[in-house]
Chain A
Amino acid sequence: MSIKTSNLTLNERLEKELGDSFMRSSIANAQDLLNQRRSDAFEELGNYEQWRDNAAAIRAHVLENLDYYLNQFVEKATEKGAKVYFAKTAQDATDHALQILQKIQAKKAVKSKSMVTEEVGLNEVLEEADIEVIETDLGEYILQTDDCDKPSHIVVPALHKNRDRIREVFAEKKGYLGDNVPENITRFVRKKIRKEFLTADVGITGCNFGVAETGTVTLVTNEGNGRFVTTTPKTQVVFMGMERIVPTFAELDIIFSMLARSAVGAKLTSYLSFMTGPKAEQDKDGPEDLHIIIVDNGRSQVLKSGFQDVLRCIRCGTCMLECPAYRHISGHGYGTLYPGPLGLALVPILAGYEEYKDITKICSLCGACNDVCPVKIPLYESIMEHRRVIAEEKKLTGAIEPMVMEIYSHVIGSPTLYKAGTKLAHLIKFLPKVGPLGEWHRERELPVPSKKRFRDWYKKHAQ
């Protein structure tokens, strides 16, 4: 996989997703449920805005000092015995990983969920080199089994799938003979994957946040797979986005308190795992070797653009749960690994305007995302600014739109032309319902402007 998750055009994706009624009701229910839980959790915590202010301040501070903290993190981690690698591009990241795994002649890797590994397309590279990769997070395991289906949400990746489909997939591909009850399916998967944990050569994880002062890698998980893949295999490889750092443990308090509540309305997840270096000499489990691959893949580009604030993101997925557009099309509608408001704000600058210009259209500018981002990323403003860059700087809106806008700007820019325009507005009902009128009319009745305009009334009234 990579950042691009679909080869369909924007309109093709929208048509496909809008036609998936199970997904739409599933996402709508998920939004309603999780948004309520989030709201309840923050109500209980109290002082929501102040917590946000703290979280935003911490992330902004880290980004301003990213070179310092990353340097400190690398020094400390190395002191503690970790081997650290730097990946400017996605290919650098997978090259490093392949080198590490081939050196130990690894045949099997167990993975705990990591967006960064999906971003760089790790699984495909390893599989091509004959290394078996097993996703151990239940949601990711479901997707992997179902012919590598793409995630529809960054925290609950299989949200678009129903239990019948999941049962079917496991029956077909893994020999599952049971029913569609989630608990039974989960027990089956537990048993299936357990032996993989125990026989894998390497455990691969992401890193929620690296702690600069100690070189500690942290994982925020629920299922126990994050702990398992860092306990039984002898080698561990960590993929870390270069911006995923906090200065000290104290800041983790704020960030983790916000993360679990924002994401799923929980105070904490079942496990917060802090790993500092490989296991100690006398320890009888844990990795003997710990490798940390620090990934840029466009993040430094974002850092020097005016969109630095988007790197504050703690990957809670709240913005997409709040988004009224995401509600109807899920992550698949965006065609990007990072969907929803986060995707709109991040992907064009992370991965290129040319390729991803269309994603910025998927927004009605409602501003709801701004209000719920735990680190106060100016999502709305970022999306608006991307649209400006696309239209005015990169000139990627095609030939017609700028022309239409130019004409429109002249009409509304001139009181005379504008007045003439208002006089003609009532003729809309005679126009053929094509283009924008057709688009409007497909979904709803067109308004009927009256022949008598406001200004006609006012003229009389003022006499």
Chain B
Amino acid sequence: MTIRVSFFATCLGDTVFPDIGIQSVLLLEKLGCTVSFNPKQTCCAQPLVNSGFHEKAKKSMRTLMDALLEDDSEYVVGPSGSCVLQVKEYPELFKGDPLWEEKAVTLAGKIWEITDFLVNILGITDVGARLKGRAAYHPSCHMTRLLGVKEPPLTLLANIQDLELVPFKGQEKCCGFGGAFAVKLGPLSGAMVAEKVDNIVAADLDYLIGADAGCLMNIAGRIQREGHDIKVLHIVQALMGGGVS
């Protein structure tokens, strides 16, 4: 009996980086899951919550909850630590709500960030991937500190054949994305990503690999602006051979 997974594409995944969604689904299927995608899903509403508009955020949260729970899959999996974290906070946000608290609790109980899911649910640490080159991992703040998913991505990356994983200075420091922060305090965010990219460049990498599209969009944008030849990949892309970025 295969494991049934309802896929949570995330808004950035749905629009800006479709390849992250594509590779995620292909990877899950390769590893034996049956994956469904409910097109009624929307955004986790993180940008609204982070700006303080919790009540306004709830409309989208309800829409998302219904979409992700509709086909009653055993698991819901998303390729973003920050989005999964936001969904896991729905029970607190809907506390006391006679209808939605229970749904929030149900969803929060079965939603997983993809690397966490691979390692801790599927029990897979080596997906049989091969990617040749020198790479570093960017540990996104929400995923690492707040969601607590630290080891699974490193484990998976360590088992990619021919990939040399190296550290870089200031690796754990925030890249400056912070969602709306990047456009609200543009120059400060710019200063933070500039330093991050300086450190990445100094590490002489072929690939910068992360697990959160927001951070990757930020870092890749700066790398491009400065004209460096470093490929920025989402971890699922690395695990599927390092194709499109």
Contact = CB atoms under 8 A, between A and B. Distances in A.
A and B touch in the complex (CB under 8 A): yes
Contacts of A444: 190, 193, 218, 221-222, 224-225
Nearest to B36: A462
Given A388-B52, A388-B54, A415-B67, A458 B60 contact: no
A414 interface: yes
| CB-CB nearest 7 A-B residue pairs | A364-B178, A391-B52, A443-B190, A413-B59, A444-B221, A387-B52, A454-B21
B188 interface: yes
A419 interface: yes
Contact of A328 (B25, B54, B145, B192): B192
15 contacts: A28-B195, A328-B195, A365-B181, A366-B145, A366-B178, A371-B145, A397-B51, A409-B48, A439-B184, A444-B222, A445-B220, A447-B220, A455-B14, A455-B37, A457-B22
A104 B177 CA distance: 57
A453 interface: yes
Interface string A423-452: 001000000000010011011111101101
Contact of B53 (A14, A405, A445): A405
A8 B181 CA distance: 20
B67 A328 contact: no
Contacts, number: 202
A364 B55 contact: no
B18 interface: yes
A392 B58 CA distance: 13
A310 to B, nearest CB: 18
B48 to A, nearest CB: 6
B57 interface: yes
A392 B93 CA distance: 14
B202 to A, nearest CB: 14
Interface string B169-193: 0001110111101111111111111
Interface of B: 9, 11, 13-18, 20-22, 25, 37, 39-43, 45, 47-57, 59-60, 62-63, 67, 141-142, 145-146, 172-174, 176-179, 181-195, 217-218, 220-222, 224-225
B192 A410 contact: no
Contact of B63 (A370, A391, A401, A415): A415
Interface string A58-94: 0000000000000000000000000000000000000
Interface residues of A, number: 68
B48 A405 contact: yes
A402 B51 CA distance: 10
A421 B11 CA distance: 10
Given A390-B52, A443-B193, A449-B15, A408 B47 contact: yes
Secondary structure type dominating chain A contacts = helix
A353 B220 CA distance: 36
A368 B141 contact: yes
Given A421-B15, A458-B39, 7 more contacts: A364-B178, A368-B145, A405-B48, A413-B59, A436-B183, A443-B194, A453-B18
A406 B56 contact: yes
Interface of A: 14-15, 18, 24, 28, 324-325, 327-329, 333, 361-368, 370-371, 380, 384, 386-392, 397, 401-402, 405-406, 408-410, 412-415, 418-419, 421-422, 425, 436, 439-440, 442-447, 449-450, 452-459, 461-462
A458 B53 contact: no
Nearest to B57: A409
A156 to B, nearest CB: 20
Given A365-B179, A442-B186, A328 B45 contact: no
B15 A422 contact: yes
Contact of A412 (B54, B60, B186, B218): B60
Contacts of A386: 52
Contacts of B220: 445, 447
A355 B54 CA distance: 22
